[in-house]
Every structure is written in structure tokens, then in C-alpha cells.
Structure 1
Amino acid sequence: MLDRIAASLPSLAPAEQRVARLVLHDPRAFTTLPVRELAARALVSKPTVVRFCRSMGYDGLADFKLKLAGSVSEGVPFIHRSVDSDDKTADVLVKVVDNAVAAFLQYRNAASVQALDRAAEAIAATWRTGRRLEFYGAGNSGIVAQDGQHKFFRLGITSLATSDGHMQVMSATLLGPGDCAVIISNSGRTRDLMDAAGIARKGGATTIAITASGSPLAHSCQIHLAADHPEGYDRYSPMVSRLLHLLIIDVLATRVALRIGEPLQPVLQQMKNNLRAKRYT
């Protein structure tokens, strides 16, 4: 969690940066002090303290303090180990696996349950009302968008995935109230995705961002599912970010399936039966 805050510093507003530095300086004290004292120490207003917590993907100061206290006490560090040119196969294996495991543990401890619930309810509502769910991503995130579409169409939700910027704009234009758009981005700064998110939101659709905290995309969408990690945005082959995005999609799909509940069971069973003919015995 502290790594997330440090990584988000450059993208925060100046006043929120002062709150962030206060957290990084003494996280244990931050969890115990009242908002008035926190604001005084950071030389900001009380609403700024709350706004910082929301910028980091939490529902407010209480939620942020709770997760911060758990992070400090459990102490699950994010150890990002870069692969070097002279690494042997055994070294590469350990580093890649350790990076992925550390990212998953950090997400488990820092994820906003409230944001996941809001996203799951919005998507489940598209099933109840027969509306549409669309996934947008560019480049590597476009592959994650396809995985999202694959997960959710099996739940009986009308869903689509596209990674082409022009198609995203046209598709987002057709969205309206009751529809959902899930926008996936490592950096949260891709222009095509920002355009599509803005169009979908303007049309009345619910926009859900899976991206880095403090990014423009995170601020522009109604629901933000934070995907924070120390992997650079300019990596030629992102690994941790892709796995983290896929994990968030899996958590979200599982939660939506549980919300749909009993009506889903016969459909999944029939699908399983129909697929048996596609396999050799």
C-alpha cells in the first residue's frame, strides 16, 4: 500500500501530495490521528484528506485507515526484481514468479471491497435488465479486455470487447443508462481509452476503470478498481500488470456470478454438457 502511494505521488494534486507524504513519513500515526489533526499536520483542509483517500481508490478516510493499518501490521512488501541480461533460467523463473505473487498479495491487502461491490452490482444489473457490457483496452490491455468478454458472456450477459480506438468510440456512443463499460489500462493515460470512457459516461453508461491510482482514467470513471504495481509503463512486454488485470477480472466475474445466483446454474451446466462433444474421450 505504501508503494502504491509513493508511485502515485507525481500524479496527485499538490495538496494531496502533502497528505501522501504525511502517510509515507509515519503510516502508523496516520491510522490513529483524527482528520482535524491530519489536516493540520499536512497543512491542508479536512476535505482534502478525504479526497486523497478517494484518489487512492478507497471509499473515504475510515476505509483508507483500515487498509493502511492492515498493510502496516501484515507487512507484505512488494519486491519487484528485474530480470537481468545475464540471468540463468532458474533466476528468471524465480524473479517472474516472485513478482507475480507479490503483486497478488499486495492487491489482496489493498483492494477496495466497496469498489468491487459497486462494480459487481452495476454489471449484475446489466444482466437483470438485458443491457450491454463492453470491455475496452489498447495493446496488451486489449487482450485482457477479450478475456473479460470471454468470462462474462458465459454468465449470460451481452458483452463485447474491442481494442481498436475508432471502434471503441463508435461502440461507446451507442451505450446508454443501464449499460456498463469496463476500461482497462496500465498507465491510465491512453487517449483513445479516455475518449471512449468520456463518451460512455456522457451517454449515461456506468464506467469502470481497471487502472493505476491517481491516473486521469481513474479520475474520469465512476468506479475505480485500482491496479497498482511498480512495473514501468514503458516495458516492452508487461508481465505483472497483465496478470494483475486478469486477476481483477476473475474476482469481478466471480462476484457477479454469485450475485446472479441460482438462475445461472442450469445455464452453466447445459454449456458444460454441450462442450463435452468437442472433446476426445
Structure 2
Amino acid sequence: MLDRIKASLSSLAPAEQRVGKLVLADPRAFANLPVTELADRSHVSKPTVVRFCRSMGYDGLSDFKLKLAGSVSEGVPFIHRSVDADDKTSDIAVKVIDNTVAAFLKYRNDASSFALEHAAQALAATQKTNRRIEFYGVGNSGIVAQDAQHKFFRLGVNAIAYSDGHMQVMSASMLRPGDCAVIISNSGRTRDLMDACDIAKKQGATTIVITASGSPLASAGHIHLTADHPEGYDKYSPMVSRLLHLLIIDILATTVALRIGEELQPTLRDMKNNLRSKRYT
């Protein structure tokens, strides 16, 4: 979170830069001080403090301070440890688990609740009007797209997943306003996914991209759900990224399910009852 603020300082307005410098100078104090004190110390107005938080992708000062407090708390292992060829199996297990836990905790503190809320609203609106939600991904991200289809299909959503570039382009060409396209990519640089996103956007569909910050895909969609992690997409087997993407899908599916409400319960009960014959007693 602090690295993101540092990298974004030069692009902010001068007044917001002063707020950002105050955060970097003493993040713990910033997380605990009232807005009046923060404004006085930054020599800005109280609305400017809130505006800075929103410029950084957070839903106001309270959301920003909550995530800031978590990111600077002690004992959170935000360190990615690469596996080595001479590692023992026990060492590999510890590193893989630690990397996953660290990525999840980091996402918990860094995630933009504003972007998640915006995405959930778009998906819930699509479900309510019985429009289409399509999930696009290739390779490893194609598996995540299929999992997303399964999650939303159970909610009674008209959902489908495509991992073939030609099918993505053809299907995106048939999207219309009110539909949603969710594009999932670790690198954010896959040409087929960029093409599908651009086409879906031109057709009037709402495009939600789940990918790394600073990638071409990150700025191509209407809503960007950041999935940053230290795992190199060109060097490592994408383990952490896959789990992080699945986590984001789970958050969205759970939020949409709660928005659908009680009307979903009879369908889920019927589904569970009908599946009983598929299992051994």
C-alpha cells in the first residue's frame, strides 16, 4: 500500500501530494488521527484528505485508514519466498503456503472496496435483468473463468466461460448493453483477452478486468479489480495468482448471492435435494 502511494505521488495534485507525504512519513499516526488533525498537518482542507483517499482507489477516509492500519501492523508476512531446486519437500510446502497466506493478507489490506462494490453492483444488475455474464481467460486463467461460471451458474445467473480466443471474440461480438464480461489475466498482456475486452466494451457491455496494476488490460475495462502479487508471470508456475483470482471471484459471487437474497434459497434447496441421488449414502 505504501509502495503504491509512493509510486502515485507525482500524478496527484499538489495538495493531495502533501497528504500522501504525511502518510509515508508516519503511516501509523495517519491511521489513528482524526481528519481535522490530518488536514492541519498536511496544510490542506478536510475534503482534500478524503479526495486523496479516493484518488488512491479507496472508498473514503475510513476505508483508507482501515487498510492502512492492516498493512503496517506487525506480524503480517508480506514476503514472497521463491522455491529453490534443492528445497526439501517440507521447505516447499512451507514456502507455498506462506506465499499464499501472505498474498491473501496483502489483498485484504490493499483491495479497493469501491471497485469491488462497483463490480458487484454491475453483476447483480445483470442477474436481475436476466442478461448475460461471460467470463474470459486463457491458460491458467481459463480454469478460473470456468470456476467463476460454476459459482454464478448456481446463483441462477445466465453465465458462461470461454478459454478459446476465437470463441471469446465471437461471443463478445454478440454482447449488448446490460451484459457483463469479466476478463481474468495474470499478466494482463494477452492479446486475445485484450481483443475480447475491447469488443465487449464497444458492444456496450460492462467490462470487469481482474489483473495486475499497470498492465494494458488494467486500463482497458470499465472496472479494474487489482490482483497484484510478487510472483513473476513469466518465471513461476502461476500458483499465488490463480488462488488470488479465485478469491476475488468468491468475494464477488458471495456479494451477488447476498444481493439476490431470500429468493435464491428455494432454488439452492431444490438443487441440493436433486443432487442427493448422485452421492453414496
For the criterion TM > 0.5, the same-fold answer is yes
> How far 1:196 sits from its partner (Å)?
1.0
Change (3 A) 1:196 1:67: same
Quote the residue 2:2 is aligned against: 2
Deviates more, 1:73-82 or 1:23-32: 23-32
Amino acid at match of 2:143: I
- Conserved 8 A contact 1:38-1:49: no
Amino acid at match of 2:270: Q
* Counterpart mapping for 1:23-172 below 5 A: 26=25, 28=27, 34=39, 53-54=56-57, 58-59=58-59, 63-64=63-64, 67-73=67-73, 76-172=76-172
Mind listing any 5+ residue stretches in structure 1 that lack a counterpart? 40-45
Change (3 A) 1:173 1:36: farther
Deviates more, 1:202-211 or 1:109-118: 109-118
- Conserved 8 A contact 2:145-2:161: yes
CA deviation profile, 1:23-76 (whole Å, cap 9, x unmatched): 89536287775599599xxxxxx9x9678624xxx3577754553344224663
Q: Which of the pair has the greater relative contact order for Cα pairs under 8 Å at 6+ separation?
A: 1
- Conserved 8 A contact 2:23-2:30: no
> How far 1:219 sits from its partner (Å)?
1.5
Change (3 A) 1:269 1:50: closer
- Conserved 8 A contact 2:131-2:158: yes
Distance 2:9 2:233 in 1: 21
Deviates more, 1:217-226 or 1:74-83: 74-83
CA deviation profile, 1:132-189 (whole Å, cap 9, x unmatched): 0000111111110010001101110011111111111111111111101111111112
Distance 1:70 1:198 in 2: 36
The alignment of Structure 1 onto Structure 2 pairs a total of residues equal to 268
- Conserved 8 A contact 2:116-2:225: yes
Q: Normalization by structure 1: what TM-score? A: 0.83
CA deviation profile, 1:183-208 (whole Å, cap 9, x unmatched): 11111121211111111111111111
Change (3 A) 1:51 1:265: closer
Distance 1:52 1:114 in 2: 11
Distance 1:169 1:175 in 2: 10
Distance 1:192 1:162 in 2: 11
Quote the residue 2:212 is aligned against: 212
Distance 2:273 2:242 in 1: 31
Q: Normalization by structure 2: what TM-score? A: 0.83
Tell me the percent identity. Answer: 70
CA deviation profile, 1:210-268 (whole Å, cap 9, x unmatched): 11123221222111111111101113411000000001111111111000011110111
